[in-house]
Structure 1
């Protein structure tokens, strides 16, 4: 069962997602999608790791900057093959927008592909991820970022990233049982309060 947690920078979404994971599973599998390219990023990763260690909840960390869909299915199959339902781990992916960045930068390196071909391949990767998220039976928490509420990015790649991130969030929300928006540390269950056309 998938849960999507979204929000802006420093909104409290990762802390909420970690608390949610600790309440849904007997232990946690933290799937990190980041690729630390500089000292600042390495420092952020170290702080997150230290906070998880101090939480008292058992975490295993796996790095998956690119092959996320395959990993989720493998983790779920591993649990299904050998565990009781009550012993299911929570799988926490943090975060989808870093995974999307990794995928886009990898495609940008392939100069043989046209822009439409890159977009087509990226859309296929997003669909693959959505299908995997829908299939996972363990509690699955996916953290993402709301990037479309600010200024329009100055560069074409930034605008494409913003658009793809919006589409990715919508697609994962579709396959998620619950979707939480965290603002100023306050989580709101969006699907609970969502408008429905039949109510009009």
Structure 2
């Protein structure tokens, strides 16, 4: 089952993802990367994933091997442990920025190459069979952006739509407050089908 958390930079997505994971399971795996690839994870953000005797975390980097890590975790999970464990990807938007930087550093300006790695990561997320929380952003742009920024914005926006369709809940973070945009508390007012979105 997939939960999606979106919002702007510094809006409290990581803190909420940690809180949500604790409500969904008994242990967690976090694949984390900084929002911007040229800046390391802040001490505050690293502290969010500190080990807790009541809810232990396993840490790994969300790097160029993200798709392989997701697949390996999915394949190696036994059915008894999978139900108590929550996997957090924090964040997909930061990982996509990192992908662009890695391509730039290798002097690769090939949209097809970016698409190949990007779609591989999305496929791994969508095929994951356990509990997963994906942290992402909603791309915002001004009047004039270059070609690379356009590619980033459109790829992330398209991915968010796909993940929304596959998710059980979507939360939007604003200044540290979570708003449930898609979930079980949004009602139609009909006795036969109270949820706006079908249960998955």
Q: TM-score range by the shorter chain?
A: 0.7 to 0.9
Query: Which structure has the highest helix share of the two?
Result: 1
Between Structure 1 and Structure 2, how many residues are aligned? Answer: 186
Cα pair 1:94 1:142 within 8 Å, conserved: yes
1:52-63 aligned at under 5 Å gives the runs 52-53=49-50, 57-63=55-61
String of CA shifts for 1:82-101, please: whole Å, max 9, x gaps: x5157531111110011111
Give the structure 2 partner of residue 71 of structure 1. 69
Give the structure 2 partner of residue 157 of structure 1. 148
**Deviation of 1:65 (Å):** 1.2
String of CA shifts for 1:28-67, please: whole Å, max 9, x gaps: 11111339866xx3361x2222233276531111113112
1:171-182 aligned at under 5 Å gives the runs 171-182=162-173
Give the structure 2 partner of residue 144 of structure 1. 136
> 5+ residue gaps in structure 1?
none
Cα pair 2:35 2:93 within 8 Å, conserved: no
**Deviation of 1:107 (Å):** 2.6
Residue 15, structure 1, aligned to residue 53, structure 2: no
SS at match of 1:53: coil
Given candidates 153, 156, 160, the residue that maps to 1:169 is 160
Q: Which runs of 4+ in 1 moved over 6 A?
A: none
- CA separation of 1:76 and 1:194: change in aligned 2, threshold 3 A: farther
SS at match of 2:40: helix
Rounded Cα–Cα distance in structure 2 between residues aligned with 1:99 and 1:4? 15
> 5+ residue gaps in structure 2?
189-195
Cα pair 1:152 1:159 within 8 Å, conserved: no
**Deviation of 1:11 (Å):** 1.5
- The higher relative CO (CA closer than 8 Å, separation ≥ 6) is in 1
Residue 189, structure 1, aligned to residue 189, structure 2: no
Rounded Cα–Cα distance in structure 2 between residues aligned with 1:37 and 1:9? 14
SS at match of 2:64: coil
Given candidates 83, 87, 92, the residue that maps to 1:91 is 87
Give the structure 1 partner of residue 192 of structure 2. none
**Deviation of 1:71 (Å):** 0.9
SS at match of 2:89: strand
- TM-score normalised according to structure 1 size: 0.78
- CA separation of 1:174 and 1:122: change in aligned 2, threshold 3 A: farther
